[in-house]
Structure 1
Amino acid sequence: MIKHSDLYLKPEIFKHISSLVAGVSTRHGGKSQAPYHSLNLGVHTEDQAEIIQENISLLCQSLGIKPQQLARSFQTHQDLIWECEQPDYLSGFDAIISTQTNIYSAVGIADCCPVLLVDPVQKITAAIHAGWKGSVLGIVPKTAHLLISKYQCVPENILAYIGPCISLAHFEVGDEVAAQFPEDCKLKPANKWHVDLKKLHANQLQQVGISQIEISPWCTVEHNEHFFSHRKEQGITGRMLAFAGFQS
């Protein structure tokens, strides 16, 4: 159950890790006016810049962190991964790995699928923005492979959260897009294909040996009262953040 006082959701799979700050923001508890109401965290939206910064501060305050500890990027729906050693705002990355404590990777979403990867042994996290383009490019397994090959993360130790995004019921795509997805992640109930991003990412994670996975039941379109939806709101909407990092 989501309350209108909830600024963010903390996944059940992470709740036993006291030093971890991880979750997905909702659209509640901010200062933005319609159509961005209310906790718009998207700095590239047409909302007022000072209000967006206020919203970011409100979220960070509720998390017990500082805005300057966030590592964010202008996302381009590609498969580039930023191995972040200090917080910043860059451009061109759709996955961010926090290699240090007190740095919180954060990706913006409003229908695209957020995936959070957490290794509580190595104290390393990753936040991934996976729209359909990044998904077919394999940004989720590429990020997982990097954690395993470069940072000695053991797949059995990695916890994964597949967050709120557009669901199979609402993600209609054309033939060209559908052709790029595996058969078991799409349906054609009528004239249009429907794609299941959550199932795709769960399958991809399992293929690299990650089995501890929580899949959010929330759909950004169906539950638009709690989440921003680019498709439902016809492109004029705010952004949530999916974030993860360890406190020292």
Structure 2
Amino acid sequence: MIDHKLYSNLLQFESLNSFDSLLHFSTTIDGGVSNGNYTSFNLGLYSGDNVDNVIENRRRLASMLNIFSENLIFPYQTHGDDVCIIDNEFLSKGNDEQMQLLHGIDAVITNQKNICIGIGTADCVPILIYDPENKVLAAIHAGWRGTVAKLASKVVTIMKATYNSDPAKLVAGIAPSISPDYFEVGVEVVEEFVKAGFLIDDIGYYDFNTTKFHVDLWFANELLLTQSGIPFESIEVAGMCTYAHGDQFFSARRQGIQSGRLITGGVIIS
């Protein structure tokens, strides 16, 4: 990833940065007003931070993106595999109804201009998929449960059915998240991956010193994307670990659940 061309506290994918029709980003910890475990650019409303601080942080993000704060659309995620399409019908609804529709949603898709969609993370894997031909953007929250549920594949299928997206022309980015070196899991999690059809030797390894399995969520989602038809060379992996780099990222594993949340998302601007 590279620093945002305008704001040093936002990160971008080099591949997605080549499209003038899209402004995309992953946030870091810098640039906000929150304090404590949320210092400073926490954008998550649901992890215990002062609401006024989060609102101010979101206002700052909207200003960077040159949109109104009310056009930031971030779901209430529950580690499931439900998807919400942000279309004219959704945007015509009132705020309360929109919030209801976004409850329990772990991926959002839109082709609407000047609307920012995004998902919040603090170790889980954020994925952006862009269709530059039809100008469609998806933002996906893929923790281990979302990966086991093959949410990334489901999103590609929806993009094909709803927007006639050609997977061969899609471009994807896997944003900063926990690395396999720090993502230790128990046998019960490994069994869920196996049940879902993953070969554990492909996506993880066993550490005999700690007697723990390590799962590579980056590669597991890369596999899902390629199996869905996205060319391997069209998938950019940031390779930046949220757990290891506390100077840049929030991490629920390192800090606890009551910590800040990063946002990965984008705006179709033309």
| TM-score strictly above 0.5 | yes
TM-score by length of 1: 0.95
TM-superposed deviation, 1:236: 2.4
Q: Which amino acid aligns with 1:239?
A: R
Q: Which amino acid aligns with 2:240?
A: W
Answer yes or no: is the 8 Å Cα contact 1:99–1:124 preserved in 2.
yes
- CA offsets per residue over residues 195-231 of structure 1, 9 Å max, x none? 0000001011001110110001210001121010000
SS state at 1:55 partner:
helix
Root-mean-square deviation (CA), in Å? 1.5
Answer yes or no: is the 8 Å Cα contact 2:127–2:142 preserved in 1.
yes
Which structure is higher in helix share? Answer: 2
In 2, distance between residues paired with 1:158 and 1:168? 26
The structure 1 residue matched to 2:141, chosen from 86, 105, 129, is 129
State, as a whole percentage, how many aligned pairs show the same letter. 35
In 2, distance between residues paired with 1:204 and 1:53? 35
The structure 2 residue matched to 1:70, chosen from 66, 69, 72, is 72
Aligned residues: 247
TM-score by length of 2: 0.88
Answer yes or no: is the 8 Å Cα contact 1:40–1:239 preserved in 2.
yes
In 1, distance between residues paired with 2:138 and 2:191? 28
Name stretches of at least 5 consecutive residues in structure 1 with no aligned partner.
Answer: none
Answer yes or no: is the 8 Å Cα contact 2:186–2:212 preserved in 1.
yes
Aligned match of 1:20: 22
Name stretches of at least 5 consecutive residues in structure 2 with no aligned partner.
Answer: 92-97
SS state at 2:139 partner:
strand
- CA offsets per residue over residues 88-141 of structure 1, 9 Å max, x none? 442010000013222221111000000000011101100000111111011110
Aligned match of 1:200: 220
Answer yes or no: is the 8 Å Cα contact 1:6–1:26 preserved in 2.
no
SS state at 2:38 partner:
coil
The structure 2 residue matched to 1:34, chosen from 36, 40, 50, is 36
Name which of structure 1's ranges 18-27 and 105-114 shifts more when overlaid on structure 2: 18-27
What pairs with 1:180-191 in structure 2 (closer than 5 Å)? 180-181=192-193, 182=198, 183=200, 184-190=202-208, 191=211
What pairs with 1:56-67 in structure 2 (closer than 5 Å)? 56-67=58-69
The structure 2 residue matched to 1:162, chosen from 152, 174, 184, is 174
The structure 2 residue matched to 1:101, chosen from 103, 109, 113, is 113
Aligned match of 2:185: 173
